[in-house]
Structure 1
Amino acid sequence: MDTKLKNSHRLAVIIAVLVLLISSVGMVLTYPIYSNQLKEELDGDSIEMNTVLEMSSSLLEGNAILYNEVYEETDRYYVLQYYGNSHFQLMRKYMDYEVFSNDGEALLKEKSEDTLSKLVKKEDTPYAFRAAFTYDEDGELIDMKVGGNRIDKREQFDIEQNLVNWRGYDYSDISEPSDVQIIYGMTEENLNAYIEGDDYAQYYQTYHLLENGTYHWMIAIFAVFTILAGIVLTVRKGFGFGTHKLFAVPFELVLCVLGILVGCTYMISDLVFRTISGNFLQIVPGMNSTLNEIFSFMINLLVWLAVFLVLFWGSVCLSHMFTMKKAYWKERTLCAKVFRWSKRGGNAYGKKVKDSAGGLFSRFKSFCKRQYDMMMHLDFQDKTNRTIFKIVAINFVVLIVICTFWFYGFIALVIYSVGLFLFLRKYFHDIQEKYKLLLRSTNQLADGDLDTPLQGDMGIFNPIQEELKKIQNGFKKAVEEEVKSERMKTELITNVSHDLKTPLTAIITYTDLLKNETDESKRKEYIEVLDRKSLRLKVLIEDLFEISKAASKNVTMNFMDVDIVGLLKQVGLEYDNKIKESNLDFRWNLPDHKIVLWLDSQKTYRIFENMIVNITKYAMPHTRVYIDMAETDRDVSISMKNISAAELNFNTDEITDRFVRGDSSRNTEGSGLGLAIAKSFTELQYGTLKISTEADLFKAEITLPKREKPIEEQEKETESSLIPEDHEKKEEIVLLH
């Protein structure tokens, strides 16, 4: 049984091959029939006439172009822009032409006298095709004549009628001819060259074959023969044909392939016409034509074999509808599979399709969301132009795609416009919400709420939100500074009152005692107390004035070259007794060489003095004090470290403020202005004074910059160095007197 089935299947394959070969060879063998029937077209007479008719209609356009080349009534650039690629521009390369005035004068003046005489000649013209057009002063075409030794009376009439039909064509965008005669002439050689290179002529040849009844009937006969063979081989069970997967293609795909085959009809017919006209294949010029004919025959045979093979395959695929009946529409159609998937949720194939579609939809949704987020978070500081360009480019591409739909593009445009409206409405609604959030934030700042943080996604206003946060922090810091300043003012008044009242009260008290005291020793003691208290009051008032002037920048600075190492040693020597009385062990770590800086010597001395006095007051007795000086390329740093006698529980940022002292009870003697004066004088000299503590360790670090001497001072020094020595001595004597 198996052997019989194999033999039957083999027989079916042989029959199929024979059917395809018979149909293909049969179509090629019918070519002589079409050649005889299309003899007129193959000779070119019919093609020539149609080409001339098509060519003559372009001469009216040429009349307007040549007229404007002569008179330039329309801008030459405009004519080239809109008529530079017209069909007449191709034609004029194959013909002679001239524009004559009605007096017979050649206006273009591009042709020789011999050519002009040939154009003017009406009878026995040397041209295969000649046309003359005459226009009156009003621009009316009053006469047109067509002739030539290749144009007979009938053809002349047809061409002139064709020109009459085309004369109403509107060329009003450029100036129309008036009061001129325009003549064209095309030689036989140029006419043949034009016809050979004319695409319309080639199309017209194929069009005649497509209209040939015999050609259609032959295709139909061999096509039906092939299709019936495919149906019989498939339907008849004995052959067992069509079971291969190649013939299990869905119904819709088979129709698509057959539709593509029908769409190739023109290309196949063009191949046939080129073959029967002998213009299809030239292997080697001058070679035996028999070889060329054999190759031409083989190629045509293969093309028709492919055509009938597709028809045979399609017939076998569709023949299963007779054997499978209802099952065919369920199993061999994509529509049924999609319907089942939509109804039941899908089988394995449906699930795969669903997953693929879901993945595509998810990616598309994610892409849309990213684009929307991008638009919602536009950075107007540096990305606005690029983002707008992207939006415009995308919209441009969409509109281009819509325009390709021609009539249906209107429906697509309506759908696109509605979608764009909905998208923009949501987009601007979101912008309004973000803007309201921004307004709430600004109103929060306007109401003075500096503690509540500005939160929320403001989209394109996020950069403004960041600036508002900076403003909030700046306002908050300014308010804290103002509160601190007000507190310091209150403490200043309290501290000044206390520090001034103490010596003043003592002065008043001892003055009253001195008035009634008769004991000379006690009177002397009271006077010493008065002297000490008045001096303290004087120092306090002087410090108060000093710090006030420093705070208002109303201090006169006398800068000069100062050896900062020598100055610090001088302060140490002058306060040596006070240092010994405080039982402190000063460890000096100063450079051995001079370090000269551009400073105010008096103010710098006061800085060192206040710092050393502060150490002698508050340092724990019998401890070591370290004073170090370090030099860099840019500045000089002086570090002073000591162990405090009292607990260091003050704020190091406020210790250098006015009237702030380490002992909050203010029992120690002093104005509380020492560190404040030192800090002010340091800053007036472009330096810094930084106080830090660690447990009981008190550390003060003074940094003074290395500044260049001003140019004015350098010029003064230069001038003084140029003064003669004896002159300096004379000035010195004058100053002494």
Structure 2
Amino acid sequence: MVTKLKSRDNLKYLILVILICICSTVLLSRYGSFYEAGEKAQKEKADSMENVISDMGDGLAIGNCILDNEISGGREQSELLEEYGMSQFNLLKKYMEYGAFDRNGESLLKSTSDSVATRLLSDSDSIYGIRVAYTYDADGELSDIEVSGSRLTPEEEYEAEQSFLADVRFMEDAYGIELSGGQSMTLIYGMSAANVESYAENFYEDQRSGDMVIWYSGLSRSVNCMMLLLAVAAALLPTLLRTEEYKGKIFRVPFEGVILILIAIFGWSADWLYYPANILCRTVDGTLVHMIRPFRQMAEIGINLAMWSGIFLILCWAGACLCGIFTRKRAYWKEQTLTSMLIRWKNQHELHMGKDFVSLVKGIMKRLKKLVRKQYDALTHIDFRDKTHKAILRIVIVNFVILVVVELVSLMCGFEFYALVIYSIVLFLILRKFFRDVQRKYQMLLHATNELAEGNLDVVIEGDAGVFMPIQKELCRIQQGFKKAVDEEVKNERMKTELVTNVSHDLRTPLTAIITYTDLLKNETDPEKQKEYIEVLERKSFRLKVLIEDLFEISKAASKSVKMNYMQVDLVGLIRQVELENDSKIQDAKLEFRWKLPDHKVIMWLDSEKTYRIFENLIVNITKYAMAQTRVYIEMKEFSDKVSISMKNVSATELDFDVNEITDRFVRGDSSRNTEGSGLGLAIAKSFIELQHGTLQITTEADLFKAEIVLPRLSEGQTGQTEV
């Protein structure tokens, strides 16, 4: 049994060795195809004018500065060499003719021969494969770029001009490369068709050995797949073969360390594969080792197999370190991870840790959580009624910070793609939480809106509505408005009921008296009695007439069909006239009126008839309800934009009514209705005052009743609405 287990244990090592040999051999057998694919990509790049032009732009931009300095002599050549180094322009000069010319076509460079200048200034496209002309003004600003040549189509010429312009702008902004100015000039570069091909071949020659093979031959993809296969196989073999884990401390590296190594291997594969790719190219070229042919081939095979076996062996080791995930399962995470080790160490040494350090860490985490929560709350409580510049700026800043962190992580670890995946996952989680919050708050407001639509005006509209907070406030206002409207409607319905009752009572009382006394008059023969009955009939008829007129006036005011006739009215004279015509009522009521009116005329633009009715109703109201043997104070005050008339008297009965309802129709100061009155006097007065854009305010204090009228000063012809 022990022998069987031992043989299985050795079997997993044998399988890994076989897999490593197979993968290395497969790669070695494909060297020719990898090399050919790299050569093909290099040739395509060399033949592509787009790639050639793209690689020339930076060099020509630096060349403009170097040639300008050669003309002006402003800086030493050694200083330029120190600043720009061996730039690409040094390579371009070997394949190009170049010159600098003023507006008149005169050469500004001594090194440019007459024949070269003639060719550069020629308009013929057959001379050069590529010809580039940069035109600068006296301030050193680029004003024009012209590209032509026999190797370029019109479309390629246009694209080249845009590419060279972008390169010049980039070099100016990024490195401050610009001309000194002082005179207008045109810098012209010309490269023959043969030199274009030679330049392209030489420029891409050094890239064929490494980059071309990595990116265009499929080498990187093949190596990554094989490495992944070997790592997974090493991790699963103990479980599949039901053997023990790999023995040795080398296979007890913590999970986090192995993952970091794997991330570095796969993330930086394009960088470290450059060296195996160069060995691949030199193997195919026969330049890897310098030996006679039979021994050279054996040495090359041995070197390449050893190289790939070493690389694959590292991946097998990484997979072997992770095999405990499948064999020990939960125990692996407790025993072979740095996180679990740190937690155990913390639990064992927490009492010995500095309390200040612990509190500092907790404080930092607390502030960080508070900051994140504050920014999130700010994003979920954007008020779209205000300018959203701050909100947009906050979102941009937060996103910028996250991208900076992602970029730093990717630079340190070299796995840009995985960093973007993590960023996308975090962004998805944040957006999911955000939209769930918005959806929940939207559903809350939608429920409240539906309840209001169903007529439930007592629905509770509360809670954090986030971005919908302004809408929530408006819904609360609508709710209060609906409640007020409903209460007002209930009040109006109650008033209508009371109106019918009061009208019936007030009309029936004099009408009943008229009918009764008419019947008595028919059967009465005594002249004295007849005279008495006629006086009662006359009084009751007059009472009925007044009541009907009041009903007519208040109905017109309520239906907004009162026609206003504005004119110049003397308020002092008008109120004196009301006093004179109601003097008998004042005397009968045993009241002493104290007038405090201006000595001069107070001319106002009013409806004289309606204003007279206002004063008459108020004074008659005083004679009915004021206590006998008391004083009544009537005062008029002038202001620049209005006139105020106040009337104060002591009530004969207790003032237990609501001052906000006393001006409603059929509301009387004596609820027992002992006095002769329709309850329409103050309502009519209030309606006529409001029709003239004024206000009537009733106040009480103990038994003191006060009515204050405020009428605005309207300019002549300013009537508001003549028919309301």
TM-score bin, normalised by smaller chain: 0.5 to 0.7
Paired residue for 2:380, among 371, 376, 379? 376
What is the distance in 1 between the residues matched to 2:473 and 2:87? 77
Q: Give the corresponding residue for 1:493.
A: 500
Q: Give the corresponding residue for 2:444.
A: 437
3-state secondary structure, aligned to 2:706: strand
Aligned AA for 2:132? L
Give deviations 1:16-44, integer Å, cap 9, x for gaps: xxxxxxxxxxxxxxxxxxxxxxxxxxxxx
The answer (yes or no) to whether the contact 2:131–2:190 under 8 Å persists in 1 is: no
What is the distance in 2 between the residues matched to 1:631 and 1:86? 80
Deviation at 1:57, TM superposition (A): 5.7
Aligned AA for 1:583? K
Q: Verify: 1:81 aligned to 2:88, yes or no.
A: no
Deviation at 1:393, TM superposition (A): 3.5
Question: Which structure 1 residue ranges, 5 or more long, are not aligned?
Answer: 1-46, 94-107, 112-130, 145-159, 170-334, 714-737
Q: Verify: 1:420 aligned to 2:427, yes or no.
A: yes
Pairwise mapping of residues 467-546 of structure 1 onto structure 2 (< 5 A)? Answer: 467-546=474-553
What is the distance in 1 between the residues matched to 2:647 and 2:719? 35
Give deviations 1:276-307, integer Å, cap 9, x for gaps: xxxxxxxxxxxxxxxxxxxxxxxxxxxxxxxx
What is the distance in 2 between the residues matched to 1:546 and 1:70? 97
The answer (yes or no) to whether the contact 1:607–1:677 under 8 Å persists in 2 is: yes
Aligned AA for 2:158? T
Q: Give the corresponding residue for 1:135.
A: 193
Q: Give the corresponding residue for 1:456.
A: 463
3-state secondary structure, aligned to 1:74: helix
Q: Verify: 1:632 aligned to 2:639, yes or no.
A: yes
What is the distance in 2 between the residues matched to 1:84 and 1:625? 93
Give deviations 1:28-80, integer Å, cap 9, x for gaps: xxxxxxxxxxxxxxxxxxx9xx9699933675699646386345722534322
What is the distance in 1 between the residues matched to 2:697 and 2:490? 23
What is the percentage of aligned positions where both structures have the same residue? 55
Q: Give the corresponding residue for 2:395.
A: 391
Q: Give the corresponding residue for 1:198.
A: none
What is the distance in 2 between the residues matched to 1:656 and 1:572? 22
Deviation at 1:504, TM superposition (A): 0.8
Pairwise mapping of residues 156-171 of structure 1 onto structure 2 (< 5 A)? Answer: 162=202, 165=205
Q: Give the corresponding residue for 1:265.
A: none
Deviation at 1:614, TM superposition (A): 0.7
- Seen in structure 2, the aligned counterparts of structure 1 residues 621 and 135 have a Cα distance that, compared at 3 Å, is same
Pairwise mapping of residues 166-565 of structure 1 onto structure 2 (< 5 A)? Answer: 342-346=346-350, 350-404=354-408, 405-406=410-411, 407-565=414-572
The answer (yes or no) to whether the contact 1:65–1:79 under 8 Å persists in 2 is: no
- Seen in structure 2, the aligned counterparts of structure 1 residues 604 and 512 have a Cα distance that, compared at 3 Å, is same
Deviation at 1:649, TM superposition (A): 1.2
3-state secondary structure, aligned to 1:69: strand
Paired residue for 1:576, among 575, 579, 583? 583
Deviation at 1:168, TM superposition (A): 9.8
What is the distance in 2 between the residues matched to 1:163 and 1:673? 107
Paired residue for 1:56, among 91, 95, 106? 91
Q: Verify: 1:66 aligned to 2:132, yes or no.
A: yes
- Seen in structure 2, the aligned counterparts of structure 1 residues 481 and 81 have a Cα distance that, compared at 3 Å, is same
3-state secondary structure, aligned to 2:610: helix
Deviation at 1:412, TM superposition (A): 2.3
What is the distance in 2 between the residues matched to 1:685 and 1:549? 15
3-state secondary structure, aligned to 1:689: strand
Q: Verify: 1:599 aligned to 2:606, yes or no.
A: yes
Bigger-Rg structure (1/2): 1
Aligned AA for 1:637? S
Q: Give the corresponding residue for 1:687.
A: 694
What is the distance in 1 between the residues matched to 2:176 and 2:515? 124
Aligned AA for 2:163? Y
The answer (yes or no) to whether the contact 1:445–1:472 under 8 Å persists in 2 is: yes
Give deviations 1:647-691, integer Å, cap 9, x for gaps: 111111111111111111212112221111111111111111111
The answer (yes or no) to whether the contact 2:578–2:612 under 8 Å persists in 1 is: yes
Between 1:579-588 and 1:382-391, the stretch displaced more is: 382-391
- Seen in structure 2, the aligned counterparts of structure 1 residues 92 and 458 have a Cα distance that, compared at 3 Å, is closer
- Seen in structure 2, the aligned counterparts of structure 1 residues 347 and 536 have a Cα distance that, compared at 3 Å, is closer
What is the distance in 2 between the residues matched to 1:601 and 1:678? 13
- Seen in structure 2, the aligned counterparts of structure 1 residues 53 and 581 have a Cα distance that, compared at 3 Å, is closer
Deviation at 1:410, TM superposition (A): 2.4
The answer (yes or no) to whether the contact 1:510–1:530 under 8 Å persists in 2 is: yes
What is the distance in 2 between the residues matched to 1:457 and 1:618? 55
Aligned AA for 1:439? L
What is the distance in 2 between the residues matched to 1:440 and 1:400? 42
Q: Give the corresponding residue for 2:671.
A: 664
Aligned AA for 1:524? K
Deviation at 1:386, TM superposition (A): 3.1
- Seen in structure 2, the aligned counterparts of structure 1 residues 166 and 500 have a Cα distance that, compared at 3 Å, is same
- Seen in structure 2, the aligned counterparts of structure 1 residues 590 and 402 have a Cα distance that, compared at 3 Å, is same
Deviation at 1:480, TM superposition (A): 0.8
What is the distance in 2 between the residues matched to 1:70 and 1:55? 22
What is the distance in 1 between the residues matched to 2:625 and 2:186? 116
The answer (yes or no) to whether the contact 2:448–2:460 under 8 Å persists in 1 is: no
Aligned AA for 2:193? Y
The answer (yes or no) to whether the contact 1:638–1:702 under 8 Å persists in 2 is: yes
The answer (yes or no) to whether the contact 2:461–2:476 under 8 Å persists in 1 is: yes
Give deviations 1:210-238, integer Å, cap 9, x for gaps: xxxxxxxxxxxxxxxxxxxxxxxxxxxxx
Deviation at 1:576, TM superposition (A): 1.7
What is the distance in 1 between the residues matched to 2:451 and 2:570? 56
Give deviations 1:290-338, integer Å, cap 9, x for gaps: xxxxxxxxxxxxxxxxxxxxxxxxxxxxxxxxxxxxxxxxxxxxx9x98
